[in-house]
Amino acid sequence: MSEAIIAKYPLFQRLDDVCTIADYLLTQGANDLEEVTDALISMCMTYPEHVVETGLLMNVEVLAASLKPKNRSHVHAHFMAIQKHLHDITDQMEAGKPLVAHFPSMTPEPFIAMDLAYMCAEQLSLYLVGALTDGVEEILDASEADGIPGHSCGFQRAPFKAMETGQLPMPDMFMCTTAPCNSSNMLYQMMMQRYDIPMFVCDSPYYWNDRSFDYFKEEYKRCLQGISELTGHTIDVDVLRERVEMSNRQLQYMYELQQLRRLKPNPDPGMHRAMDLAAWLMAGSNEECITYQKMCYDEAKARADKGLGVIPEGMKEIRTLHTYGWTAHFLSFPDWLEDELGSTELECGLSIYPGELVGLVDTTSLDTMLDGLAWRSFNAVMHRTVMTFSDLHIQDMVSVATEYDAEVALFAGNNTCKWGWTYPKMLTEALQDNLGIPCLTWETDLMDKRFRSPEDVKEMCREFFNTVRMSEA
Amino acid sequence: MILGVDIGTASTKAVLMDDSAIAWQCKIATNANPEAAVAAVLSALQAERTVDRADLEKVVVTGWGQNEVADVAKCDTVASVVRGALWNTPSARTVLCMGAQESLVVSLDPRGRVLGYARNDRCAAGAGRFLEIICEPLECSVDATAEVASKADRKLQLSTQCAVFAESEVVSLVNDGESVANIMDGILGTIARNVITLCKKVNKQEDFVVAGGLARNERILRTLQDALDVRLHRFGPEPEYICAVGAALAGGRS
Amino acid sequence: MIFAGVDVGSLSAEAVLMEDDRLMAHSIITVKPNPVQSATIVMDEVLAETGLTQDDIAFCVSTGYGRERIPFAQHDISEISCHGKGAFWANGDVRTIIDIGGQDAKVIRIDTNGDLVDFVMNDKCAAGTGRFLEGIAKTFGLKVWDLGDLALAGGDPVPISSICTVFTNFDVMCFLAKGRSRADVALGVADALATRINRLVTSVGIEGGVAMTGGVAKNAGVVRSVEKVIGRKTCPLATDPQIIGAVGAALYARERYYKQQAAN
């Protein structure tokens, strides 16, 4: 790890601190906040000041949820993975390797195989918003004062303003896709124009079919080629193979875990869904990612073998489909749903990578690997989900609802998500009319907790689940 | 006998349900004080029917103020609305309840299970308060508004949806010599349109039950009927009591 | 030479008479629904005060509602420019103006001549305007100005989370019913208004001295809340902030007059 680089960028330091804290607090054998108090106090007295500062900002609800036996081990494993990832990229940066910032629609094996430094800025800010109470509201306000519209998506707005103010490193190039939306396109272009940063864009087709995939994979390869020419780094096929084999192993666990969620009771806790996306974005980076995903799978499998679920004893399970996705500033939401309302999370629109659809990458040759990786991107969350007239995503959600036997659906739509609000009425109609599934829809902000507070969301959900229960009776 | 009390933002409605029939009802101002409102209802019940709290199987509270009241059973507003609607119209598939500050529309499956619902979010357009606010400069009582509007001879379109700005627009229109009837008709049309927008958020189907204070307004009902193209059933005998009835029948959360 | 400016707002109308750039007299009335009527009445009042007649006025500029229809004005200019000009006259350090009117709110930036550089306006939503305060003052049974004074006495402001004036009014009733002090509720309301205004402020940005104009600027409690949120004190103005628009109009009247003279 490069301490110098981490210290240079405040949000890198924050993130490293969060991981350090997680490593300490989640390995004390403490099951709740009370039991971890002594360790917390000890941490304040013995750890460096910047760690303690970060510690004081920790989202207490997320910490409490992370300490629970059903969540603790794999949450810890996840933060070890992200810390390793952070250390690896800062090492690369210190060694002078060019830094590519990529959109959350691709996995990083090719960048690793080109011996580059890489980061997904959106993924990094997710952790900061999720783990810390001071989130990114100040950064979002600064962005708005700068003239960036407040109704553009915070997912880019926050990390880009952080780059502009030196809190995150400014990359040497961008790689992104035109999917999902105007907001991401506009913001990436703004960064390109303001700072003269080369941008490699895969033109995402509108339709989802063989012809459009043939087009897209050429786009994907063209962008990687461009990065290669710009940096003078070429893909080392052996390294690529090694990394793809790693990501294949990681994703294999992810796919098997999805199958377990079809069981009754659902043996998989929902809080790590957002972390699954984050892990996907690091697929192939390190062994720790595989350890994380395997742990999630092993724990769920152990429960499944005993017919156990994840909600309190005596509560009736309500199998819940999250048709939009998670809310970054309210990561503890799925855990709260489980323990308060018996609502278990089946899948979510922002972390669903259907195994049989996305598939594992054929490692035979460079061509098969690039094709396989392009197929992964093509079908990634925020790519596949936005293609055609939303009927693809709606159909996916209906399939999951049917196959996993969903009983209710929640749509926690990001208010700045241009794509997200085009389809929820059609989706709820499909779920309600065809499958008789009650749906609750609300507006929130992915990153900014001031828009709708977690307390408001909890009130709404209590009312909804109470109403559904009474309805059934 | 179960007492159902709907503590709304403006008024508190209570019904005494004996089996499935309304044995007594009462409506008082909430005055932002839920506990006092419930106490007042119990007093009135004692005074008018000599029924004490001890004679009741249960007191079930619903509506905006339910969280502020202790020692009672509670029922979520949506559940109350639904239960009340089904009591009135067993074949109900959509329910619209127009309150003082909040309008709520619920869609049900053929078995009466809730499929989804929507409320006005952060905005008083389409709520009862809107009508109250503009009744002042027009010097008209809320109950008389439909009657007044029935004499309109011209269709007016207001430029604003906002209840607060509408007040000043009304004053300007009065000054421009526009008749109170035309203005009132325009306002009722605006309120109805805002409610219709809300209804479009759910899958509206027959049979469609309408309730809440504004459901007494014939002009609004007619506009809803025409726009939604479904047969409307007004909750009876009095539309404000839907939640109180529903809460009493539902019996509260376990 | 005597110049006149008249400004018709949604709640009040103002007229000023200036001898070149010296303020002679001013008048403020509550508006009638008809802007021409309002302008005429307030102009007649200020003339009566000084014993002057319409003929004594070299040039008159009108601004605000119905400004194009004022029969005795030779020209009309937007109230945005007039507020900018007027605030600059009232304090030469001013470069940013926060104008909270009866039904809208604006933040205006001016240059070293008092001319308009940039502005942003909210006229879609009553929250953050005088209407917001008016409605709540009514709930308290107070005049709007008194609500501001009450806010000054508050120490622990109640949280106002609703955006809509109607809902906020209701929240206020609930806080009062729960026994929160009137001063604390008034302060919470003033803070809520300031927070709304701040959104406009940050989108235009603060440069140089900040002044508040419009009727709401006379509301000490609101001024204090705004200063708290923007993080700085507002500039004192040489005259009543409510007449700043009319002063700006009169100053533009003077400019126009001399320009016309020079052209002839």
| pLDDT tens digits, C60-79 | 999 998 899 999 999 999 99
What are A23-41's pLDDT values in tens digits? 999 999 999 999 999 999 9
Q: State whether B122 and C176 contact (CB < 8 Å).
A: no
- Is the separation of the CB atoms in C15 and C45 below 8 Å? yes
Write the ipTM. 0.84
Residue in B61, B116, B95, B108 with CA at minimum distance from that of residue B215: B95
Q: Count the alpha carbons within 13 Å of C39 in the hemisphere toward its beta carbon.
A: 25
Per-residue model confidence as pLDDT tens digits over C168-209: 888 888 888 888 999 999 999 999 889 888 888 888 888 899
In DSSP terms, B18 is beta-bridged to: B21
How do residues A238-249 score in pLDDT, each as one tens digit?
A: 999 999 999 999
Selecting from A428, A463, A472 the residue whose C-beta is nearest the C-beta of B78 gives: A463
Question: How many angstroms separate the CA of residue C12 from the nearest CA in chain B?
Answer: 13
Of chain A, the percentage scoring pLDDT greater than 90 comes to: 84
Report CB contact under 8 Å: A439, B115. yes
* Chain C residues with beta carbon closer than 8 angstroms to that of A145: 202-203, 205
Which DSSP category does A107 fall into? Answer: -
pLDDT band, very low/low/confident/very high, at A73 (cuts 50, 70, 90) = very high
Q: Identify the helix (H) or strand (E) that includes residue B81.
A: helix B77-88
| Residues on chain B touching C164 (C-beta within 8 angstroms) | 122-124, 164
Q: Which residues of B touch A437 (CB under 8 A)?
A: 115
Quote the radius of gyration of chain B (alpha carbons, Å): 19
Cβ-defined contact of C205 to A144 (cutoff 8 Å) = no
Q: Which chain C residue is nearest to residue B169, measuring alpha carbons?
A: C33
Query: Quick check: B254 pLDDT over 60?
Result: no
Q: Of C94 and B31, which is predicted with more confidence?
A: C94
| Start-to-end CA span in chain C (Å) | 17
Residue A261 has pLDDT above 80, yes or no: yes
d(CA C264, CA C260): 6
Assess contact for A354 and A276: CB atoms under 8 A: no
Q: Which of B68, B136, B165 to mutate to test the interface with C (most CBs of C within 10 A)?
A: B165
> Order of strands across the sheet with B103-108?
B114-119, B103-108, B94-98, B208-211, B232-234
Look at B201 and A425 and tell me if their CB atoms are within 8 Å.
yes
Percent of chain B exceeding pLDDT 70 equals: 100
Q: Where is pLDDT greater, at C134 or A255?
A: A255
Two tokens, residue C116: 């308009």
The first and second tokens of residue C46, run together, are 């200020």
In Å, how far from its chain's centre is CA B148?
21
DSSP-derived secondary structure for A350-391: TT---HHHH-PPP-SSHHHHHHHHHHHHHTSTTTGGGSTTTH
Whether residue C160 contacts residue C184, with contact meaning beta carbons closer than 8 Å, is answered with no
- Residue A428, number of CB atoms within 10 A of its CB: 25
- Looking at the DSSP bridge assignments, the partners of residue A442 are A412
Q: Which residue of C has its CA nearest to A149?
A: C203
| CB of B233 closer than 8 Å to CB of B207 | yes
Specify the pLDDT at position A449: 87
pLDDT on residue C256: 94
User: Lowest-confidence range among A121-135, A269-283, B95-109?
Assistant: A121-135
Residue pointed to by tokens 């809190």: A167
Share of chain C above pLDDT 70, in %: 100
Element of type H or E holding C26: strand C22-30
pTM of the model: 0.86
Residue B121 banded pLDDT, cuts 50, 70, 90: confident
pLDDT greater than 60 at residue B11: yes
Mean residue pLDDT across chain A: 94
Average of per-residue pLDDT across A208-231 = 97
Q: Is the pLDDT of residue B157 over 90?
A: no
Question: Is the pLDDT reported for residue A363 higher than 80?
Answer: yes
**For residues A310 and A342, is the Cβ–Cβ distance under 8 A?**
no
Answer with the residue of higher pLDDT: C108 or C131. Answer: C108
**Mean pLDDT, range B169-197, rounded to an integer:** 88
Q: Does the pLDDT of residue A102 top 90, yes or no? A: yes
pLDDT of residue A133: 87
pLDDT of residue A63: 96
Closest chain C CA to residue B163: C166
Check residue B122 and give its pLDDT. Answer: 73
- Looking at beta carbons, which residues of chain B come within 8 Å of A443? 121
Residues 6+ apart with CB under 8 A from C222: C100, C133, C148, C151, C190, C193, C194, C216
Question: By the CB < 8 Å criterion, does B119 face chain C?
Answer: no
Q: How many helices (H) and strands (E) does chain B have?
A: 8, 10
Nearest neighbour of C126 by CB, restricted to B32, B122, B164: B164
Distance CA B125, CA B101 (A): 9
In this complex, which chains have at least 3 CB pairs below 8 Å with chain B? Answer: A, C
Distance from CA of A140 to the nearest CA of C (A): 12
CB-based contact, B39 to chain C, within 8 Å: no
Element (H, E) at B245: helix B242-250
Sign of CA dihedral C219, C225, C230, C231: positive
Strand-pairing partners, residue B106, are B95, B117
**Which among C43, C67, C58 has a CA at the least distance from the CA of C3?**
C58
B 120-179 residues with CB < 8 A to C = 122-124, 127, 129-130, 133, 162-165, 168, 171-172, 174-176
Chains touching chain C through at least 3 C-beta pairs below 8 angstroms are: A, B
The string of pLDDT tens digits covering residues B213-235 is 999 999 999 999 999 988 899 99
Q: Strand pairing partners for C71?
A: none
The DSSP output letter for B200 is: T
Chain A residues inside the 8 Å CB shell of C203: 144-145, 147
**pLDDT value of residue A213:** 96
Strands B208-211 and B232-234, sheet pairing: parallel
C95 closest CA partner among C86, C84, C106: C84
- Which one of B116, B121, B201 has the shortest CB-CB distance to A438? B116
| Residue A18, token pair as written in the block | 């969060």
Q: Which residues of C touch A459 (CB under 8 A)?
A: none
Residue A142's pLDDT is what? 87
Burial of A45 (0-12, 13-18, 19+ CB in 10 A): exposed
Which residue, chain included where needed, has tokens 């049917």? A402
Chain C: closest CA distance from residue B103 (Å): 13
What pLDDT is attached to residue B163? 80
Q: Give how far A450 is from chain C: nearest CA, Å.
A: 10
- Domains annotated for chain C, with CATH where assigned, are 1-91+238-264 (3.30.420.40), 94-236 (3.30.420.40)
Phi/psi-derived region of residue B197, left when phi > 0, alpha when psi is between -120 and 50, beta in every other case: alpha
Handedness of CA C233, C237, C243, C246 (dihedral sign): negative
Closest CA to A235 of A118, A111, A114, A364: A114
Of residues C171 and C5, which shows the higher confidence score? C5
Nearest CA in chain C to A147: C203
Residue B79 — left, alpha, or beta (φ > 0 → left; ψ -120 to 50 → alpha)?
A: alpha
Band of pLDDT at residue A463, cut at 50, 70 and 90: very high
Distance of CA A160 to the CA centre of its chain: 18
Element housing C82 (H / E): helix C79-90
How many C-beta atoms surround the C-beta of residue A133 within 10 A?
15
